[in-house]
Structure 1
Amino acid sequence: MTGSTLPARSLGRLLAQYRQRAGLSRSAAAQIVETSIQTMGRLEDGLKSKVPQLWINALADAYRVSDSERRVLIGLTRELASAQQNWWRPYADEMNPRFDHYLGLEEAARRLAVWRLSLLPGLLQTPEYRRAIAWTEWPDLATEQVNKRVEMAVRRQVRLNDRAFTVDAILSETVLREQIGGPAVMAEQMARLVELSELPNVSIRVVPFNAPRHLGSRVGSFAMLEFPKLPATGMIEPPVIYIEDYAGDGYLEREVEVRRYRDAFTEIARVSLDPDATRHLLVSAGKEYRA
């Protein structure tokens, strides 16, 4: 299920491309449909979830697109209109700014490749591990708010039940050794990783402390999301690199940027343990935490 994120991104990207080809400014495009330049910016950035078909026809006329290009734009508009409401809307108040955009990408992705230097990816966290992170980052947060964040994390992991969605996670051994929430929480977390690693659509590998030198520490943690074809148009959105930072999130989409991170992931994978050796390490770490 692609939700609204992919058709919105595809529609915005094509509209920006056709506008530039026609030699029109974003301000001029906004005037054509009698809206603000800010709204036009949201439309072209793929952040607007409701787009009147009247706008699309008016812009298509102004941009002098071909009949086939117009059909694609209208198809994307219809796909956007029929998209289901995103499940995480009730949790919007508990999310960092722009993280809802990432959730839309994750929900629509067919593959997630993630490298982590510290802290587990959200899809792999146990509720208590997530709770410990929340209390560490926001010690004054109300218990009700923390519970809501944990609830959202658990709901997010339903995505792993979709066998068409694959996760390829490579973790620094530091992730296993940093005691988030204490030994009991970490023991439960190691057991959960072992369980997840046995799913056919989930791969977990660890880069041990004694691995040869690699790009991992220089590149930093990141995720690469790749997407399926859109049902109505058959279009495939280009991959996105997501970089989560304490001060805010970043998204990279240019082909040259994506290629560099894809190559870095391949190089990091080269020095990682294979899935079986990783599973043995996880079991061993779990025993140490329970001792």
Structure 2
Amino acid sequence: MALRSNPTLRQRRLGSELRRMREQAGLGGSELARKLGISPAQMTQMEMAKIGVSPERLRMVASACGCANEPLIDALARMASERGKGWWEEYRGALTIDFLEVAELEAHAARLTFCTTAYIPGLLQTRAYASAVFARLFPPLPSQEIETRTTFRIRRQELVRSGSTPLRTFIHEAALRMQFGGPAVLADQLSALVDDSEQSGISVRVVPFALDTFPGSGENLTFAEGPVPELDTIEMDVSQGALFFDSQADLAKHRVIFSRLDSTALQEEESREFIRSIVKEVKATHV
């Protein structure tokens, strides 16, 4: 069997869950391999997602590890049975892996929650705003790459536009005032954000400057809920790309952060009025 050279995000997550299951059982890789009747090398390759694992083999691993978490086992078995490629694979080679993996994460989420401090969440950006976000990068991107990134981002939005995946977002006032592309682009973006916030399945909550505290450390975060809590994932935007976290400690910490945001952010109608007030201000001052 040929080894995978570039396992996908989902394949790597499945492998890490196998490793986590083994470690929680207190078993070494060689010991578990003996129980399964495979070589230690095969066990390592499964955990590193270099080779696939069938749903049947996954259940054998769970049994050998004494795992009794049936909802988790069933969810992992469904992951193991996935064979098709997502639409984002069309962009492999045209965009960096980070872009593809973010789309892959979103496509498999039961619900998405965003916290942004510098810009409007990508799934709610207008084309002009998204293009301006990419155009401000340094060193500057070629115009064709800006167009490719923008088109990819707009295509990602089909997920929430269709209503298939609920979206909840907490947006700091700083992101509402940050200008990408100038005041006219910002005004149009904020007006579109208000329209989106009135759609079923999309919740927009504002965290104004007036709050005396801001939960978390201020990164732009995505909390992607899985079919079971153990398969939730945190994605963090950094200048070098996207970082993914799935340890139970990281998930627990960020659940608290989002819970605090939920208790402190403006409610939905208050948020809409707040955004409308900024639109009026921008238009009166600049447009």
TM over 0.5: yes
CA distance in 2, matches of 1:139, 1:64: 52
* Structure 1 partner of 2:133: 133
Instruction: Determine helix, strand or coil for the equivalent of 1:153.
Output: helix
Q: Report 1:81-120 matches (<5 A).
A: 81-120=81-120
TM-score calculated relative to the size of structure 2: 0.78
* Structure 1 partner of 2:220: 221
How far 1:282 moved relative to its partner? 1.7
Equivalent pair of 1:113/1:225 in contact (CA under 8 Å): yes
How far 1:255 moved relative to its partner? 2.3
**Alignment partner of 1:51 is 2:52:** yes
* Structure 2 partner of 1:247: 240
* Structure 2 partner of 1:24: 28
Q: Residue type of the partner of 1:92?
A: R
CA distance in 1, matches of 2:41, 2:192: 53
> Gaps spanning 5+ residues in structure 2: where?
1-7
How far 1:289 moved relative to its partner? 2.9
* Structure 2 partner of 1:193: 193
Equivalent pair of 1:94/1:149 in contact (CA under 8 Å): no
The one of 273, 284, 288 aligned to 2:281: 288
Equivalent pair of 2:130/2:153 in contact (CA under 8 Å): yes
How far 1:211 moved relative to its partner? 1.5
Q: Residue type of the partner of 1:32?
A: S
How far 1:132 moved relative to its partner? 0.8
Q: Residue type of the partner of 1:56?
A: R
CA distance in 2, matches of 1:192, 1:54: 44
Equivalent pair of 2:21/2:65 in contact (CA under 8 Å): no
Equivalent pair of 2:171/2:207 in contact (CA under 8 Å): yes
Change over 3 Å in CA distance of 1:98–1:151 after alignment to 2 = closer
* Structure 1 partner of 2:48: 42
Q: Residue type of the partner of 1:42?
A: M
Q: Mean alpha-carbon deviation: is it higher for 10-19 or for 280-289?
A: 10-19
Instruction: Determine helix, strand or coil for the equivalent of 1:203.
Output: strand
Equivalent pair of 2:230/2:248 in contact (CA under 8 Å): no
Change over 3 Å in CA distance of 1:187–1:219 after alignment to 2 = closer
Q: Residue type of the partner of 1:281?
A: F
Aligned length: 273
CA distance in 2, matches of 1:270, 1:32: 51
Q: Deviations over 1:27-64 (max 9, x none)?
A: 995x7286695x44432xxxx6x72649938x948x85
How far 1:197 moved relative to its partner? 0.1
Q: Residue type of the partner of 1:286?
A: V
How far 1:73 moved relative to its partner? 7.6
How far 1:247 moved relative to its partner? 2.5
Q: Residue type of the partner of 2:198?
A: E
Equivalent pair of 2:132/2:180 in contact (CA under 8 Å): yes
Q: Residue type of the partner of 2:48?
A: R
Equivalent pair of 2:135/2:146 in contact (CA under 8 Å): yes
How far 1:117 moved relative to its partner? 1.2
Equivalent pair of 1:26/1:40 in contact (CA under 8 Å): no
TM-score calculated relative to the size of structure 1: 0.77
Equivalent pair of 1:22/1:64 in contact (CA under 8 Å): no
Q: Mean alpha-carbon deviation: is it higher for 114-123 or for 81-90?
A: 81-90
Q: Deviations over 1:246-273 (max 9, x none)?
A: 1243222222321221111221232221
How far 1:276 moved relative to its partner? 0.8
The one of 7, 14, 21 aligned to 2:18: 14
Equivalent pair of 2:30/2:39 in contact (CA under 8 Å): no
Q: Deviations over 1:160-192 (max 9, x none)?
A: 134342111111100111111101111110111
CA distance in 1, matches of 2:77, 2:20: 15
